[in-house]
Chains A and B, each alone.
Chain A
Amino acid sequence: GAVVSQHPSWVICKSGTSVKIECRSLDFQATTMFWYRQFPKQSLMLMATSNEGSKATYEQGVEKDKFLINHASLTLSTLTVTSAHPEDSSFYICSARVLPGNEQFFGPGTRLTVL
């Protein structure tokens, strides 16, 4: 099956710093990737849709200037949490869409802790 990786798997940072998370499709090309956030004991919430070569589409309530998304190639999308604060601490998961069928395969997630 399709494999999606994320790096780093976990990160601890100080409040006010920026953190970049990478999402890669390892054995396929993904024109569309998705970024989700999951708080403890809750389900996944879609943050934004990342399209290769164009601007990301953000869900309502997600600050695009705080969560910068860059999908520069067909195998890589990055999420940068700018000026992170403790309330940004969460589990961030990306997925990539595989055609045909539109099935989404998920990365292993990145645990972000902001002190």
Chain B
Amino acid sequence: KQEVTQIPAALSVPEGENLVLNCSFTDSAIYNLQWFRQDPGKGLTSLLLIQSSQREQTSGRLNASLDKSSGRSTLYIAASQPGDSATYLCAAQAAGNKLTFGGGTRVLVKP
């Protein structure tokens, strides 16, 4: 059974600092890995999707890496802004299309 863990559970940084969010998964037989953002009381916004054959994906200030062999993915957010404050979730997708979510990292960027 796939288990996904996110560390840290919460993170507070001053504006302008780079953010590093970690995600680990126990079963390396994944189809892809997705990173999402969730604002309080809202649904999920897809940020980046990394296929199992890829090593990283980039979108603007966001960069996500994937190391299947070690069961790890990292989301980097450069030059953080107060608007980046949210909960960030990673999810590993198995071949059967099921997404297994991590517990999330709550990020607070202080102005």
Q: Please list the residues of chain A having a beta carbon within 8 angstroms of any beta carbon in chain B.
A: 1, 6, 32, 34, 42-46, 49, 91, 93, 95, 97, 101-109, 111
Contact = CB atoms under 8 A, between A and B. Distances in A.
Contacts of B34: 103-104
B61 interface: no
Contacts of A93: 43-44
Given A43-B89, A102-B32, A108 B102 contact: no
B93 A102 contact: yes
A27 B101 CA distance: 26
A111 B49 contact: no
Given A32-B97, A43-B101, A46-B98, A106 B43 contact: yes
Interface residues of B, number: 23
A101 B32 contact: yes
A6 B44 CA distance: 12
Given A105-B46, A106-B45, A106-B46, 16 more contacts: A42-B103, A45-B101, A93-B43, A95-B44, A101-B49, A101-B51, A102-B93, A103-B32, A103-B46, A104-B34, A104-B93, A104-B99, A106-B36, A106-B43, A108-B42, A109-B41
Contacts of B102: 43
Contacts of A111: 41
A59 to B, nearest CB: 8
Prevailing SS type, chain A contact patch: strand
Given A43-B89, A101-B32, A49 B42 contact: no
B49 to A, nearest CB: 5
Nearest to B99: A104
A97 B43 CA distance: 15
Contacts of A46: 98-100
A107 B97 contact: no
